[in-house]
């Protein structure tokens, strides 16, 4: 159906020829007249037992009826011509509308395709940028973690050194206290021995005095 409309749209001469033939037919109908009316009148008089006046009246009535029918048919053909012309014009308009719709569909399709390509490119750029940001964030996090581990390691080493120094000081203090305690013990023992010796000497002297 569409191909036929396109063919008619591309070759409108066919419709013009058809319209010309219809017009020619209408012109022929306008010039139509009934021949041999006298013979019909004579047949009515001879075979139908009509008078000449009755035969003339009947032939005139029949002629008028035929001419009226021909006129009606010619008017009907004129309306058909207009209808055919209207149908042809509608087909041409439909073909134009179809071409416009196809052109609009193509342009809209190209527009949607371009928008899709633009969105896809934007998404690809965003994906690349996001990947770079994630890589940078991971690198920064790893660097911070490494620095934090180094700092913790240094602090741990420093604390270990401080603990060792404190242990060394404690050991030295304990050693010094032991030495002081031993010295005090020695002094106390010496003092006790001196006291005991003096007391024993006094006791001996007192015993001698009593004896």
The alpha carbons of the chain give a radius of gyration, in whole angstroms, of 69
- How many residues in total does the chain contain? 211
Q: Is 155 helix (H, G, I), strand (E, B) or coil?
A: helix
* pLDDT for the residue 13: 35
Output the CA angle 74-75-78, nearest 5 degrees. 90
Rounded Cα–Cα distance for residues 44 and 199 (Å): 204
Helix or strand run (H / E) with residue 82:
helix 52-210
Residue by residue, DSSP assigns 149-178 as HHHHHHHHHHHHHHHHHHHHHHHHHHHHHH
* pLDDT for the residue 128: 92
The structure's pTM equals 0.32
How far is Cα of residue 62 from the mean position of the Cα atoms in its chain?
Answer: 79
CA distances to 40, 61, 78, 181 from 56, rounded to whole Å, are 9, 9, 32, 179
* pLDDT for the residue 24: 42
Rounded Cα–Cα distance for residues 201 and 74 (Å): 182
CB proximity list for 59: less than 8 A, separation 6 or greater: 37, 40, 41, 44
Task: Tell me the pLDDT of the chain (211 aa) as tens digits.
Answer: 333 433 444 343 333 333 334 444 444 444 445 556 677 777 777 776 777 777 777 778 877 777 777 776 666 655 667 778 888 888 888 888 888 888 877 888 788 888 888 898 999 999 999 999 999 888 888 888 888 888 888 888 888 888 888 989 898 888 888 898 888 888 888 888 888 888 888 888 888 787 6
**Phi, then psi, of 184 in degrees rounded to 5:** -65, -40
* pLDDT for the residue 11: 41
What token pair was written down for 155?
């602090």
């Amino acid at each position: 159906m569409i191909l036929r409309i396109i063919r008619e749209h591309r070759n409108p001469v066919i419709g013009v020829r058809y319209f010309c033939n219809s017009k020619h037919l209408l012109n022929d109908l306008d010039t139509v007249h009934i021949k041999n009316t006298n013979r019909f009148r004579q047949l009515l008089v001879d075979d139908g037992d009509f008078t000449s006046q009755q035969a003339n009246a009947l032939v005139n009535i029949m002629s008028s009826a035929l001419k009226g029918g021909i006129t009606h048919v010619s008017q009907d053909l004129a309306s058909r011509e207009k209808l055919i012309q209207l149908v042809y014009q509608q087909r041409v308009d439909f073909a134009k509308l179809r071409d416009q719709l196809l052109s609009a569909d193509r342009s809209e399709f190209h527009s949607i395709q371009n928008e899709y390509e633009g969105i896809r490119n934007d998404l690809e750029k965003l994906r690349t940028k996001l990947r770079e940001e994630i890589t940078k964030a991971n690198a920064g996090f790893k660097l911070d973690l490494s620095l934090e581990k180094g700092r913790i390691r240094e602090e741990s080493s420093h604390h270990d050194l401080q603990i060792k120094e404190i242990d060394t000081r404690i050991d030295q203090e304990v050693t010094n206290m032991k030495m002081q305690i031993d010295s005090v013990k020695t002094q106390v023992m010496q003092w006790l021995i001196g006291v005991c010796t003096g007391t024993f000497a006094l006791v001996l002297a007192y015993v001698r005095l009593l004896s």
